[in-house]
Amino acid sequence: MSENNIKIGITQGDPHGVGLDIILRIFSNDLIFKYCTPILYASPKSFAFYKKLLNLEKPMYQLVKSASEAQTGKLNLVISSDETLEIQPGKPSASAGKEALLSLQKALDDAQNLDALVTAPLDKSTVAEHEKGFSGHTGYIAKKFNVENYCMFLESEDLRVALATEHVPVAEIAKKISKNLIIDKLDLVYNSLREDFNLVKPRIAVLGLNPHAGDNGLLGKEEQEIIAPAVKSVFEQGRLVYGPYPADSFFGGGQYKQFDAVLAMYHDQGLIPFKSMAFYDGVNFTAGLPLVRTSPDHGTAYSLAGKGEAETLSMQNAIFDAILIVKNRKQFGKDFENPLPYAELRRERFRIDF
C-alpha cells in the first residue's frame, strides 16, 4: 500500500460547531493528499454552507457511495444525510446532534473499507437526544465493534495520558475502580505503546485516586487495597509499570517526563494537566479497537464556529497520527507475524561449530 492510499474516514461532527470549519480549511491544502486518501462523511449542504461562509475556493470533492470507491489525490465525500438543516453556527440543537450522529453511523457502517477513522467534535447532549445513553465517541464506537476492553488515550509530543474511567460522575468513580480494571487498562496501554507507538519497552506510571495517593491510608485506602496490588501484579509480568503516584506532585514536579505514558484514574485527573500542556495540538486516541480511531482533543467550540478562527492543529495531528499508527501497526504485524522460524534460526546459529 502506497502512503497516499491509506484511507482515512472523517466524520463531520456537529454542523453547528467547528468541525466542518476546520476540515475544509485543512483540505484546502492539496499537500495533505500526498499522505492519505480522505473520505468525509457529511451532508453536501453543510459542506457547501461552510465553504461559502469561509469564502474558500477549495476543497472540491467527489461523491462516492463508500470508501471502497475513494480515489487518491481527492477529497471523497460519502453523503451521511440529505436532510435540509438550517445551519446556525454556534447554536446547539437537536437537529445538529442528529446530523452528527448520522455522520458517525455512516462512517462506522463503512469501517471495513477504512484504515482509520478521525472523528470531528460533537455535542454529547444533543446526540443523546437521538441515541439513548450516548456519553461520547469512545464508548459508542467500542460498542459498535463489540469491544469491552478499550481505553481513552490522550497523546501529544510531550505527554500520553490514558484513563482508567472516562465519563463517570465524580461521586461514582471510586465504585468503578478495581484491581482487574486497572490491570486490563495497563495491558491495553502497554500493548498500544508497542504496537501503535513503536516503543519496545515502554515505561508506564499509574496515578493514585485520592489526594497524596491516599497518604498511607489516611485519605483513602484504594491505593493500598486496589491500585498498588494491580501495579505489582503487572510489574511482576516483566513490564515497567510504577506507582501509584500523587497526581499533583507527579505533574507539578515534571515526573511525567520519565515515562512513556500515564494511567489516570478519572477524566479530569488526566485531562486537566494534558490540556494545560497540549490544548491546541493534543490528540484523543482509542486504544484497543480493531480500527485506528483518533480525534482532536477539543470540543465543538461553538463560539468559534464558522469564523475561520479555530485552531486546526489538533485535527491535523489527529489525521497524521492516524496515518502513523496505521503504519506502525502494519510494521509491528510484519515484525512479529512469524517469530518461530527466527527463533529456530537463532538456535541453529548456536549449534554451528566455529
- CATH number of the domain enclosing 332: 3.40.718.10
Residue at grid coordinates 517526563: 257
Of 261, 280, 299, the domain-final residue: 280
Give yes or no: residues 273 and 350 share one domain: no
Give yes or no: residues 9 and 128 share one domain: yes
- In the chain, the amino acid numbered 318 is A
Give yes or no: residues 78 and 194 share one domain: no
Domain count of the chain? 2
The percent of residues above 70 in pLDDT, for the chain, comes to: 94
Give yes or no: residues 348 and 324 share one domain: yes
Give yes or no: residues 41 and 99 share one domain: yes
Give yes or no: residues 296 and 271 share one domain: no
pLDDT at position 214: 85
Q: What is the pLDDT of residues 173-217, one digit of tens each?
A: 999 999 999 999 999 999 999 999 999 999 999 999 999 988 888
Give yes or no: residues 98 and 212 share one domain: no
Residue 181 structural domain: 156-280
Give yes or no: residues 20 and 142 share one domain: yes
Give yes or no: residues 123 and 9 share one domain: yes
- pLDDT over 90 (residue 345): no
Give yes or no: residues 29 and 125 share one domain: yes
- pLDDT over 60 (residue 351): no
Give yes or no: residues 133 and 256 share one domain: no
One-character DSSP codes across 119-147: E----HHHHTTTSTT---HHHHHHHHTT-
- pLDDT over 50 (residue 58): yes
- pLDDT over 90 (residue 348): no
